[in-house]
Amino acid sequence: MAARLRMMARPFTQVTGFATIPSFGHPVGQDSILAVPPARLRRKLPPGDMVPMAIPSARLNPVFVLSSPRSGSTLVQRLLNAHPRLTIWGEHNGFLNPMAESYRLLTDPSANRRRIVEGVLERDLIVGPLDDPRRIIAWTNPLSPEEYRQQFRRFLFDAFTKGLPEDIRWGFKEVRYGRPVARFLLDLFPRSRFVFTSRDLEPHRRSRILLFEEPWDLDDPGAEREFAETLAALASSWIIRNENFVTFSENNPGSCLALRAGDLTDPSAINGVFSELDLDPVTDQQLGTVINTASGSLEVDVEWTEVHRDKLDRMIEILEFDDDAQQKVKRISEFFHL
């Protein structure tokens, strides 16, 4: 067993460069468990070591296009990319959702931040045991929330500006984010701008059904009930997501723009967005080319029979909302001018 442990230890010492291996809270030496004093397992970090390289302030103004699915965000992406000084990347499967939650856990004062002990090590990085029995060590960590913030900012900046010239403004569009990620992005990039895009609830649900669902069996009442439940779930999702956008916009009015899908075929509306983003206008001809080529992507021709389509329209029309949901739909519709 001892020989096996020595064999296991050898790669560790080769990789780390340490002469001993911390084990069960003690350094293991050849002759004694105290062969290497704990103080030698500590190295000093210069004050800036944990802080990533600063990002030029001129590049801290990204543009984020957020919406529900089937609400015109891809067309907005195409139109914004018509500007020579703007690059809006596409969806990325919502990978920022868990990152935003991780960020919140360390930086939100209401998330037990008081339990994170900062600075207790005087910026020493402990690579061996935390040897002072008088210290509080259960929540001791070598990085602070501000360092965490800067590392996240640097990661996102590097990820989405890769290969872009320095004079190109950057951003992305996504249909999987709500208020938590928007808050996360605004905290990292206080000069960022958000373009929220929405579409009226009925055509939104119809478009999602025709794209993602198969027609149900007309002879099966149970299948029709399940389909009605799907419609109700889509309505709930639309309300939650868009109410998130409305609330965030009301709390951060100087950072947010609202677009409805019906305005995306109007070049003047898009140039209005460019103006709000402090960008020069793009010619109507150039925007018109994008609109004429891509605007049909809002609808997808799926093999649904006319009977199914008629039934679907009737099911959408008769679906009832409670008073609370009706008020939320009204609030969203007024905000986006749907």
The answer to the question of residue 39 being in a domain is no
CA 63 to chain centre: 13
The answer to the question of residue 272 being in a domain is yes
pTM: 0.77
The two tokens of residue 106 are 């360390």
Instruction: Say whether both 144 and 261 belong to one domain.
Output: yes
Instruction: Say whether both 168 and 30 belong to one domain.
Output: no
The answer to the question of residue 81 being in a domain is yes
The answer to the question of residue 40 being in a domain is no
Residues 111-137 pLDDT 10s: 554 555 554 444 444 434 567 777 767
Instruction: Say whether both 321 and 194 belong to one domain.
Output: yes
Instruction: Say whether both 163 and 18 belong to one domain.
Output: no
The answer to the question of residue 134 being in a domain is yes
Q: What total of structural domains would you count in the chain?
A: 2
Instruction: Say whether both 195 and 67 belong to one domain.
Output: yes
Domain with 208, as residue range(s), is 61-336
Which of these ranges, 74-78, 115-119, 255-259, has the smallest mean pLDDT? 115-119
The answer to the question of residue 56 being in a domain is no
The SS3 of residue 90 is coil
CA 129 to chain centre: 37
Scored b (16 or more CB within 10 A) or e, 200-217 reads bbebbbbbbbbeeeebbe
CA 75 to chain centre: 20
Instruction: Say whether both 77 and 219 belong to one domain.
Output: yes
Which of these ranges, 180-184, 224-228, 294-298, has the smallest mean pLDDT? 294-298
Q: Assess contact for 71 and 261: CB atoms under 8 A.
A: yes
The answer to the question of residue 41 being in a domain is no
Q: Assess contact for 271 and 218: CB atoms under 8 A.
A: no
Q: Token pair 């898009």 is at which residue?
A: 270
The answer to the question of residue 152 being in a domain is yes
Instruction: Say whether both 155 and 289 belong to one domain.
Output: yes
Residues 17-39 pLDDT 10s: 333 333 333 333 333 333 334 44
The SS3 of residue 24 is coil
Percent of the chain with pLDDT over 70: 73
Instruction: Say whether both 2 and 86 belong to one domain.
Output: no
CA 104 to chain centre: 13
Given a cut of 90, whether residue 138 has pLDDT beyond it is: no
CA 111 to chain centre: 19
Instruction: Say whether both 29 and 66 belong to one domain.
Output: no
The two tokens of residue 278 are 């402090």
Q: Which of 44, 8, 228, 37 is nearest to 131 (CA)?
A: 37
CA distance 179 to 29: 53
Q: Assess contact for 2 and 8: CB atoms under 8 A.
A: no
Instruction: Say whether both 232 and 113 belong to one domain.
Output: yes
CATH number of the CATH domain containing 242: 3.40.50.300
Give the pLDDT of residue 41: 36
Q: Where are the alpha helices (DSSP H) in the chain?
A: 2-16, 73-80, 96-107, 145-161, 179-188, 201-212, 221-251, 267-276, 284-294, 306-318, 323-336
Give the pLDDT of residue 18: 33
Instruction: Say whether both 155 and 17 belong to one domain.
Output: no
Instruction: Say whether both 20 and 101 belong to one domain.
Output: no
Residue type, 335: F
Q: Compute CA distances 42 → 116, 122, 263, whole Å.
A: 21, 11, 61
